[in-house]
Structure 1
Amino acid sequence: MGEPSWIGVDLGTQSVRAVRVAASGVVLGRAARALSSSRPADDRHEQDPYDWFAAVDATLAEVADPSVEGIAICSTSGTVLLTDPTGRPITSALMYDDARAAAELPRVVAADPDRWSTAMQPTWALPKILWLTDAAAGAGAGSGAAADGRRTELRIAHSADAVAAQLTGHPVATDTSHALKTGYDLVAGTWPYDAFGRLGLARECFPDVVLPGTELGRVSAAKAQLTGVPEGTPVYAGMTDGCAAQLAAGALAPGAWNSVLGTTLVLKGVSKDLLDDPTGAVYSHRHPDGGWLPGGASNTGAGALTALLPGADLEVFDRQARDLGPVDAAIYPITKRGERFPFVAPDATSFELGDFPDDLHRYAGVLQGVAFIERLAFEHLVKLGAEPVGSVSLTGGAVRSGYWNQLRADVLGVPVELPAISDPAYGMAILAASRETSVTETAARMVKVATVLEPRPRGRLENLYGEFVAELDRRGYLG
């Protein structure tokens, strides 16, 4: 059968991706399928879970091999849906950035103020679960006892859970990583059932919770026939996509950080002790090997480029920006109201500093603004007690911009590393391959660094960064 291999699956916003990886870290197969059901509109964004199932089946069929010894799945953090007790989806999935349930946040906080007054955000999964369960319980059941009975039949699933259930043929546990934004208490290791009761959420609705890398079940005969993955292949509990990217980057020791820059900006690092952030901007996942993975997700990111410069040839701008160099201007680039990291400001809006004579300067201003938010995020983490930043691995779609990579190194003032392979799916293959050893050791063996960029003198960027932070503070965003 050849050397052992493992499959990682990434349920992304726009597509499903799968990779098959050998123990040496070599990618043996790769496949992707677009998701056609993504329907963002205003504050709503949902997907059809059956679209995931079809895309996963298709990608697995391309990469499957008799040598496969395990599968792990990652998905977007805070994406949630409801199923029936057998695991069959009965609602669309509300995506990580769906804000329709924002009005439920005060109700969540009131159920346990000490727990959630700063540690819950309006787009997290728990407010969305309230919205979904109220809508589903009332559908065709009227009110009172009938609706209450309907509510106890509902089951909560994150997107990775739903796909794992399809592969194994039965409902599965969720993992601590996906459960975080649903309200799971990572310190106590339990769901806060008393608070859920005050919200009208039945204990039966919530899945068991296990550590990432725990076996959830095995690929069923039906799925084996459909995908080519050997029947009985273990399906392991995964992590959210930000954590998966961190595994792919190998940033798993204190002082090493992973910065994922795609549509939005997500930072992940490692700490021995749990960081307490009174602002609620920073949250921590459990490290599979012990300790914590602190970080946060900003509404800033590369998505602002397409929003502010529709139809622009960004590759041309990137080449021109390299010749132009740093500009005396910056844009705080969020495309919708509100920020969640490195500060929490529900009313935050985009702003511009300096002059922008043309679209090239506007492009450069966005790049600098994102880099400034990234630096501010690291400064916030260190103030909370995180290890000083020693190096940063850059992943996400924005690493295609060589100019932006160097700019980020310059603004941060530390070396940045570009992993040879940075897919979240690759991180899940590493997790699946770690069943008999630590994830840190497995990543050290499998992850390769392609490029290291050293920081250059900051020059004008240093003063501009100070002006940028001062403007954030003037607007009241920094508290």
Structure 2
Amino acid sequence: MAVNSIDTAPGEAVFAAVDLGATSGRVITGRVGPGTLELTEAHRFANTPVRLPDGLRWDVLALYQGMLDGLRAAGRSGPVASIGVDTWAVDYGLLDADGALLGLPFHYRDERNSRASERLPDGCGVRELYAVSGLQHLPFNTVFQLLAHRATAQWGTARTLLLMPDLLVHWLTGSVGAESTNASTTGLLDARSGDWSPELIGQLGLERSLFPPLREPGDPAGTLLPHVAEFTGLPAGTPVTTVASHDTASAVAAVPATEAEFAYISCGTWSLAGLELDAPVLSEESREANFTNERGVDGTVRYLRNIMGMWLLEECRRVWDRAGMPLGLAGLLADAAASEPFAAVIDPDDASFLAPGDMPARIDAYLLRTGQTPPRTPGGYVRCVLESLALAHRRTLRRAAELAGRDPVRIHLVGGGSRNELLCQWTADASGLPVRAGPAEATALGNILLQARAHGLVGDLAGLRRLVARTQELRLYAPRGDRRAWDRAEARLGPSIGCVDTGATTGPKGTEV
């Protein structure tokens, strides 16, 4: 894709965000200055996992090449002041003593993770893990992936663990580090201190030396290696700046909140719904409700739950496409709006919806299992999915507010889901709170603004958010209708949605995302 030249005025600079999601990656440039925040997409590329005989893997070499191609395209538009990298969480690569990657990184949807999450060492069960890390118990958490990986012959040659964005930064700069917001998703970070937990690492039989020193958003991560600079055409001294490398952390940083008490939903493949707090909530009630305490920018805590998000809809569309029914999103949403309300509802986090496959058939099976009638049209499936997501948003945010002692006055819904008017309106209707939708590119904005802040162009987190609110297209959805219909629909899901069986050492019932 050709990129037009980006002109900058005094006091402005251009930053490049490498933003990798579960299905695609892109490089986006952002021009930032006083009252200015403009994004341009330089390059977009697919993120296609590969299934090998030993499991599902990320094609990280293709991702790295796509990133380099994107940086070359970004450089053609003009000087780039800095580069930042964010990706999804939990997945990692292992390096040997020479710094070589030991195989393609495993995918968090690989089946090995669920098996490993059932075999925790004695004395280190789910309660003990939560008391230290405060992390939502999910079978793909890094800690469980490592327990599975430890049983392989490859493990004996591993010397360094790098989470996905840290691995890509290492290839750009040669430096080694672990960015804190992403490190907090491993299950091995102390939620109170913000440091690696030697107690948990030791109890799980892991080597402390595997885990690099921590970096904070805004820290310098190095400069481009000569061969990288040569390929991309960027100057050899181009800095790479540490950003909130967990994509959700960057998205939350860009939430355009101007009020103190707000809730957020970062909605894409997943819906991450929660609150921003000053300290973690590590109570037994919080663990039973399966809330996570992940680090945010400036020492904040992202207190949230993972909810299966637009994955459900996109998997349905893939099935229909393969069946020769290529249905456009606009038409599907129009059909959904005309379909019968609350004809069928699902728990989006039911374990049967986790893996890739025939999502309409899985929805049918869930509905029949729960005494409901499956939809007869694609629009009916879409309505079922979106109403169910709105209910999950409502229940999750209400429970978060109860556990944290907060009273949010507004929901900020950011990410790709903010473009879905039905989901935004139904989330407002279900919750009884106004929903402010946008920006859709919250992750890239957060990435770019944290670089700009490190370079002195943006002030504190509140100022960063005010800039987003002033410059980005946002839409407000006011609650409407009778919420008693939402109450009745929620009652059909039963009381256990999103809760953990407190006696279990496996993943939480219905929340294996």
Q: What TM-score, normalized by structure 2, do the two folds share?
A: 0.80
Distance in 2 (CA, whole Å) between partners of 1:474 and 1:30 is: 39
SS at match of 2:112: coil
Unaligned runs of 5+ in 1: 139-146, 340-347
- From 188, 195, 206, give the equivalent of 2:200: 195
The aligned residue for residue 205 of structure 1 is 210
CA contact (8 A) 2:439 2:473 kept: yes
Distance in 1 (CA, whole Å) between partners of 2:481 and 2:384 is: 19
The aligned residue for residue 485 of structure 2 is 461
**Residue 478 to residue 425, structure 1, CA distance change in 2 (3 Å):** closer
Amino acid in structure 1 at the alignment position of 2:64: F
Matches within 5 A, 1:59-458: 59-64=70-75, 65-108=77-120, 110=122, 112-113=124-125, 115-116=128-129, 119=135, 120-137=137-154, 147=156, 150=157, 153-168=158-173, 170-182=174-186, 183-238=188-243, 239-251=245-257, 254-276=260-282, 277-279=286-288, 281-298=290-307, 300-308=308-316, 310-311=319-320, 313=327, 314-324=329-339, 326-334=341-349, 336-337=351-352, 350-351=366-367, 354-356=372-374, 358-359=376-377, 360-435=379-454, 436=456, 437-447=459-469, 448-458=472-482
Distance in 1 (CA, whole Å) between partners of 2:453 and 2:488 is: 44
Unaligned runs of 5+ in 2: 1-6, 355-362, 502-508
**Higher mean displacement: 435-444 or 16-25:** 435-444
CA contact (8 A) 2:175 2:222 kept: no
Cα deviation for residue 478 of structure 1 reads: 9.2
**Higher mean displacement: 463-472 or 56-65:** 463-472
**Residue 301 to residue 446, structure 1, CA distance change in 2 (3 Å):** closer
- From 14, 22, 29, give the equivalent of 2:31: 22
The aligned residue for residue 20 of structure 2 is 11
Cα deviation for residue 366 of structure 1 reads: 1.8
RMSD (CA atoms): 3.1
CA contact (8 A) 1:329 1:353 kept: no
The aligned residue for residue 53 of structure 1 is 64
CA contact (8 A) 1:99 1:123 kept: no
Deviations 1:108-166 (A, max 9, x none): 4536345316744321011212322431446xxxxxxxx4xx3xx42101110011011
Cα deviation for residue 450 of structure 1 reads: 2.2
Distance in 1 (CA, whole Å) between partners of 2:91 and 2:258 is: 25
**Residue 321 to residue 338, structure 1, CA distance change in 2 (3 Å):** closer
Cα deviation for residue 305 of structure 1 reads: 2.7
Distance in 1 (CA, whole Å) between partners of 2:485 and 2:235 is: 54
Q: What TM-score, normalized by structure 1, do the two folds share?
A: 0.85
Cα deviation for residue 361 of structure 1 reads: 2.6
CA contact (8 A) 2:277 2:303 kept: yes
**Higher mean displacement: 349-358 or 234-243:** 349-358
CA contact (8 A) 1:16 1:34 kept: yes
Distance in 1 (CA, whole Å) between partners of 2:498 and 2:269 is: 27
Amino acid in structure 1 at the alignment position of 2:228: K
Distance in 2 (CA, whole Å) between partners of 1:115 and 1:471 is: 25
SS at match of 2:176: coil
Deviations 1:193-246 (A, max 9, x none): 243234332222111112222111112222122113332222122321111222
CA contact (8 A) 1:101 1:128 kept: yes
Cα deviation for residue 289 of structure 1 reads: 2.3
**Higher mean displacement: 401-410 or 118-127:** 118-127
SS at match of 2:194: coil
Distance in 2 (CA, whole Å) between partners of 1:105 and 1:419 is: 36
CA contact (8 A) 1:254 1:387 kept: no
Deviations 1:334-375 (A, max 9, x none): 574389xxxxxxxx9944565445223332122111111111
**Higher mean displacement: 289-298 or 323-332:** 323-332
**Higher mean displacement: 127-136 or 176-185:** 127-136
**Residue 131 to residue 223, structure 1, CA distance change in 2 (3 Å):** same
**Residue 136 to residue 184, structure 1, CA distance change in 2 (3 Å):** farther
**Higher mean displacement: 101-110 or 213-222:** 101-110
Amino acid in structure 1 at the alignment position of 2:376: D
Distance in 2 (CA, whole Å) between partners of 1:440 and 1:473 is: 34
The number of residues matched between the two structures is: 456
Distance in 1 (CA, whole Å) between partners of 2:275 and 2:53 is: 32
